[in-house]
């Protein structure tokens, strides 16, 4: 584990009060952990913008009854096969399927994959979640 460093931060009282209320709602045990997460998040956004490697999970629901949709979804995934690590298909209800696509690669490409899938007729919902890869 990395060595820990301590440093002081000066903030307006109103700002630290608002921050404390915010982190209490998010169930952080202390300010340090909350500030660590803010820094990690900011570095992840930087990584994203600079085209760094990230992990992404695409979660989508779509109509089971549109038969051609399944093959379109698979065709698109094959176009990005270097990004796709794993997929899981769940028959959510009689009408709907849930698909989870786990990816790793350039954020921009993962976003492109997600937006191509989202644009397909019959896709009801799609959410892309990104996580940092590496030491941060």
Positions that interact with Ni ion (CB under 5 A): 91, 97
Backbone dihedral angles phi then psi of residue 87, each to the nearest 5 degrees: -135, 150
60 in Cβ contact with 125 (< 8 Å): yes
Nearer to Ni ion, 46 or 95 (CB): 95
∠ Cα 47 51 56 (to 5°): 75
Nearer to Ni ion, 91 or 125 (CB): 91
Place of tokens 């600079």: 50
- Min CB(97)–Ni ion separation in Å: 3
125 in Cβ contact with 69 (< 8 Å): no
- Min CB(87)–Ni ion separation in Å: 12
Nearer to Ni ion, 35 or 69 (CB): 69
User: Using CA atoms, how far apart are residues 49 and 51, in angstroms rounded to an integer?
Assistant: 6
Nearer to Ni ion, 63 or 109 (CB): 63
- Closest residue to Ni ion, judged by C-beta, is 97
- Min CB(115)–Ni ion separation in Å: 22
How distant, in Å, are the alpha carbons of 19, 45, 57, 92, 106 from that of 131? 23, 10, 8, 25, 12
- Min CB(107)–Ni ion separation in Å: 28
């Amino acid at each position: 584990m990395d060595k820990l460093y301590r440093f002081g931060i000066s903030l307006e009282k109103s700002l630290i009060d608002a921050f404390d209320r915010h982190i209490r709602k998010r169930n952080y045990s202390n300010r340090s952990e909350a500030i660590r997460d803010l820094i990690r998040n900011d570095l992840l956004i930087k990584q994203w913008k600079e085209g760094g490697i990230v992990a992404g999970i695409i979660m989508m629901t779509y109509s089971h009854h549109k038969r051609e949709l399944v093959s379109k979804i698979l065709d698109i995934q094959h176009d990005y096969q270097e990004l796709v690590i794993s997929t899981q298909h769940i028959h959510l209800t009689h009408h709907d399927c849930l698909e989870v696509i786990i990816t790793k690669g350039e954020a921009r490409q993962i976003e492109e994959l997600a937006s191509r899938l989202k644009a397909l007729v019959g896709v009801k919902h799609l959410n892309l979640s990104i996580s940092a890869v590496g030491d941060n």
